[in-house]
A = this chain, B = another copy of it.
Amino acid sequence: MNELDDVELQDNVIEMEQLMVQLGWVLHRQQTQRLKNFNLTMPQFMMLRALQRLGDSSTMSELAEAAMQVSATVTGIIDRLEERELVARRQNPADRRSYQVVLTPQGENLLALVDQVNRERIVAYLQTMPPNGRIQLLQLLNGYLAALTEGEVGDHV
């Protein structure tokens, strides 16, 4: 892209930086509080979500990358989820060093319950916006998330 010679952009950046960090923190803290009702932590929930997203035969390495964690961290999180029988480790016949981690039915039910509560919670805000605004917000957030995860924004330090 071009040089940063746009005064308006400068102003936007200053506000945006504070806003995104604050928004990220508030989302994280509130989601943490809500998940306590399900006896889940954020890392545990994100691991279940990653498992759901990747499909039912993820290795520990794949989960580590999807949840943005190192493998030693994933070991501990999966240990605790497995004790509660929300996930299970299965032998991988193709490579005896690795496991296939799967969601149990209990794990799927719990995720569905959390999803339902979260959906109901978000309706209140979306209803305050016109349909145009909702679509724009989705597009903008999608673009921002894509930019973050493709390393265009996130990996410069």
**Interface residues of A, Cβ cutoff 8 Å to B:** 1-2, 4, 6, 8-9, 12-17, 19-31, 34, 37, 42, 46, 49, 68, 115, 117-129, 131, 133-138, 140-145, 147-149, 152-154, 156-157
The answer for the CA separation of A150 and B148 in the assembled complex, in Å, is 27
Contacts of A152 in B (CB 8 A): 124-125, 128
**A17, A117, A142, most chain B CB atoms within 10 A:** A17
Residues A125 and B153 in contact, CB atoms below 8 Å apart: yes
Residues B141 and A19 in contact, CB atoms below 8 Å apart: yes
Contacts of A138 in B (CB 8 A): 12, 15-16, 19
Please name the 7 residue pairs, one residue from A and one from B, whose CB atoms are nearest each other, closest first.
A24-B27, A1-B127, A29-B68, A125-B153, A30-B154, A125-B147, A137-B140
Residues B26 and A25 in contact, CB atoms below 8 Å apart: no
Contacts of A131 in B (CB 8 A): 6, 8-9
Residues B46 and A157 in contact, CB atoms below 8 Å apart: no
Given contacts A26-B68, A123-B4, contact A157 B117 (CB under 8 A): yes
Q: Which of B2, B15, B21, B137 contacts A27 (CB 8 A)?
A: B21
Task: With CB as the reference atom, state the residue of chain B lying closest to A155.
Answer: B30
Contacts of A9 in B (CB 8 A): 123, 126-127, 131, 134
27 of the cross-chain contacts (CB-CB < 8 Å) are A1-B124, A1-B128, A12-B134, A12-B138, A13-B122, A15-B138, A19-B141, A21-B31, A21-B49, A23-B24, A23-B144, A23-B145, A23-B148, A24-B24, A24-B27, A25-B46, A26-B145, A27-B28, A30-B148, A121-B154, A124-B152, A125-B152, A125-B153, A128-B147, A129-B143, A136-B140, A140-B140
